[in-house]
Structure 1
Amino acid sequence: MYNDKADLGVWLRSFLFFVLYNLMGIVHSLVSLLLAPWMDFAQRHRFVNLWSRATMWLLRRLNGVEIVVEGREHIPVGEAVVVMANHQSQWETFYLQLLVSPQATVLKRELLWIPFFGWGLALLKPIAIDRGRPVNAFKTILRLGRERLRAGISVVIYPEGTRQPPGRIGRFNGGGAKLACKAGVRVLPMVHDAGHCWPARSVLRRPGRIRLIIGAPIGCPDGDPERLSARVEQWMRETAARRLGMGTPAPRSAAPERDPVESGEIV
């Protein structure tokens, strides 16, 4: 449920959120960089994520956004997984950091060049790739992804690629499933409807409720990434349609295989 109205009060609170969110990010990134040499990775991850916690608190108290999580019991304890979730806004990049920890996100290297934000992001060992070199980029995803998973760090990847409008599930790519099968780990599927309250490429923050549904981990059947990808996609589409009212279930034949870098699967 969400409130589609955006009156003057909503816009003013959205602008205030934008200002406070960025100020917190600048200050916290600088402090994180100063303290990083004295912290191991797990400690850095927890400390950097204080910004994520503060952002979610601000979103709730200032903008009236409630977050409801279903299926939290499916998150494995002491097991690294490949997290595959739909991509609607910036919200999931913050909230998933709090749900599955530690983790590394596949992203374009340009994000690390952003002052303050990118510097703090680099402390979390993301898998940064050069989208201008798609073949090398995919090899980097597989190589560094397996390294992170072997070290007990989960990997987050968005199979749709670019952010989708609210209420829509985009076409899928099988890159996340290939990484999971290569590394011998399971996929943890998730779907949410955050785009209504936190639209992409907008300062608007609508009051309402964000629902996140977590499914049971799915293993790689007979080492076949195509079958794994199909199972994950089926669960995500059907759950999004049945539980969140997002589009309609679509067969995998409607989602031709694409290169994960060229398609924009990299955040």
Structure 2
Amino acid sequence: MSTVQTLRIFLFYLLLSSSAFLWCTLSVFVAPFLPFRARYRFVVQNWCRCATWLAKVVIGIRYEIKGLENIPEQPCVILAKHQSTWETFFLCGFFEPLSQVVKRELLYVPFFGWAMAMLKPIAIDRSNPKAALKQLAKIGHERLGQGAWVLVFPEGTRIPPGQIGKFSRGGASLAVNANLPVLPIAHNAGEFWPKQGWGKTAGTIQVVIGPLMHANGTGPRAIAELNERAFAWVSQAQRDIGSLDAQSPALETPASV
């Protein structure tokens, strides 16, 4: 990595962390007086868009989106590939309001966690997978009923480019029980913003939004079939953008929702 790129990355993190501290601190005092949608825009959407803008201007990480015509008017369950931190910023800034599955412990972090708690996240106990699934089903259904998108990373953890993790059925189950479709999303953000380390590479991230997928019926079989269909689409889309090895098997990932 060149000295110039190293300096760019340092500047990026300096600006990102400074803006996060200021934004979260301000949000704690302003957000409680705003209705939920305005609160989401103020606390999350604007800052996440700021983060992707900083990545673009300072580091040179741009993005292109395909499949915008597939986004429905009514919010539904988003099943997205997970490779890096970038897609969390992007998706939270692009869809609004959006409720995301987070670790319950994050809500206890001063300022950051307090601000997050006001945004109706789906806070789960990852140490107890069975309880986490029940929490996702109950709280996720409530969020969808309130008109929020629900973002689920079905792999449960960030998987490096070239690989894919098995999909948990939690997101598909939520969609089926709410009688809503899932919206699959593929991307190659991990090639420019890796899971490990601070290093970043300039380039253009490809984001592909797939067609809406509805379940064929109800019950466990319909959930499993919808989940497999979403996994198959994301896998093929990852191959099409060159971010999944041709013969790469699905990896076993930590118990997740």
| Maintained 8 Å contact 1:104/1:126 | yes
In structure 1, list runs of 5 or more residues that go unmatched. 1-5
- Tell me, in whole angstroms, the C-alpha distance in 1 between the residues paired with 2:187 and 2:112: 24
- Tell me, in whole angstroms, the C-alpha distance in 1 between the residues paired with 2:77 and 2:171: 7
- Name segments (4+ residues, structure 1) moved above 4 Å: none
1:61-140 to 2 correspondences below 5 Å? 61-77=57-73, 79-140=74-135
- Tell me, in whole angstroms, the C-alpha distance in 2 between the residues paired with 1:249 and 1:73: 30
Counterpart residue identity of residue 238, structure 1: Q
Q: TM-score, normalised by structure 2?
A: 0.93
- Give % identity: 38
SS at match of 2:204: strand
1:121 deviation in Å? 1.9
Give the aligned partner of residue 151 of structure 1: 146
Count of residues in Structure 1 that have an aligned counterpart in Structure 2 = 253
SS at match of 1:241: helix
Could you report, residue by residue, the CA deviation over 1:137-189 in whole angstroms, capped at 9, with x for unpaired residues? 21111000100111111110011111111232222221111111011111000
Counterpart residue identity of residue 226, structure 1: A
- Tell me, in whole angstroms, the C-alpha distance in 2 between the residues paired with 1:143 and 1:204: 38
Give the aligned partner of residue 26 of structure 2: 31
Q: TM-score, normalised by structure 1?
A: 0.89
Counterpart residue identity of residue 159, structure 1: P
| Maintained 8 Å contact 2:158/2:195 | yes
SS at match of 2:164: coil
Could you report, residue by residue, the CA deviation over 1:20-75 in whole angstroms, capped at 9, with x for unpaired residues? 10110000011111111220110011111211111111111110111111111211
1:181-196 to 2 correspondences below 5 Å? 181-196=176-191
| Maintained 8 Å contact 2:95/2:149 | yes
Which of residues 220, 229, 235 in structure 1 aligns to 2:227? Answer: 229
1:119 deviation in Å? 2.3
- Tell me, in whole angstroms, the C-alpha distance in 1 between the residues paired with 2:125 and 2:243: 36
1:255 deviation in Å? 6.8
